[in-house]
Amino acid sequence: MIDSHCHIAGDEFAGDLAEVVTRAQAAGLASAMVILASEDAAEVARMATVSAAWPAAVCATGIHPHSAGHFGADPAAAGPAVAAVIDSQPRCRAVGEIGLDYHYDLSPRETQREVFRQQIRLARDRHLPIVIHTREAEGDTFAILAEEAAHEVGGVFHCFTGDRPMARRALDAGFHISLSGIATFPRALELREVARLVPADRLLVETDSPFLSPVPLRGSRNEPARVVHVAEVVARERGVTVAELAATTTTNFERLFGSIG
């Protein structure tokens, strides 16, 4: 199994990263996609520690919509800023997470849109898939993906929380869908319907650690080992074994992001 999205190079894991990796490996994880905020030098630097502990881990880097405001005066600078981090990371496999977040609105929306566009262009230049974060911004997200021909590189809607029509839209556009611990929450009935409808070859699972710890571990710091709880719920919904789900999602991960070997 692979945790397709986590932030274990962040400060929350600085004190016990080796133990977190050991627990992930003990839980049967073959790899994880570590998200590096391109503007966070400490997080980017800590990827070396992650790689030393877990050589199979891979990474993605980008400017999160929450941080897009840093480039408000010059959105075109976002591309070179991310490119520099890509060049510093031999295990970089994607541009992300990038997108639009109109729920928190921590950056002006126009800036979010422009920084998102710049990073899709970079991903196309580098032939890298994208990791998409979108919240309460469905229309603009799909419009920009289409206008920037993002399907040419493909990618994943990470921590998918939309409804079935949005899932079909993402799938029709050629993207993968990654389910997080939210799928285990009691009220997430619609998301468990989504878990049933995603074709086997488009599905991924993730933790989004340190956020969104799954049932039965809600309320504490999340970590990659807990992706197993996400997989158990998704497998149950789909009527497959956890081992089957692990195999298909691992195949999907490697097809999208490259071999973990």
**Residue 43 or 208 having the CB closest to Zn ion:** 208
Which residues within the stretch 190-229 sit at the binding site for Zn ion (CB under 5 A)?
A: 208
**Residue 79 or 96 having the CB closest to Zn ion:** 96
Distance CA 234, CA 194 (A): 10
37 lines the binding site for Zn ion (CB under 5 A): no
* 209 DSSP β-pair partners: 6
The one segment of 126-134, 140-148, 171-179, 182-190 that binds Zn ion by CB under 5 A = 126-134
- Cis ω before 136 (30° cut-off from 0): no
Residue 255, number of CB atoms within 10 A of its CB: 12
**Residue 74 or 220 having the CB closest to Zn ion:** 220
Q: Which of 117, 133, 202, 226 binds Zn ion (CB under 5 A)?
A: 133
**Residue 238 or 256 having the CB closest to Zn ion:** 256
**Residue 97 or 237 having the CB closest to Zn ion:** 97
Could you give the strand order of the β-sheet that contains 155-157, starting from the edge strand earlier in sequence?
A: 2-6, 31-37, 58-62, 92-101, 130-135, 155-157, 176-179, 203-205
The one segment of 118-126, 132-140, 175-183, 198-206 that binds Zn ion by CB under 5 A = 132-140
- Evaluate whether 81 touches 42 at the Cβ level (below 8 Å): no
Number of chain positions touching Zn ion (CB under 5 A): 3
The one segment of 85-93, 96-104, 144-152, 166-174 that binds Zn ion by CB under 5 A = 96-104
Return residues touching Zn ion (CB under 5 A): 97, 133, 208
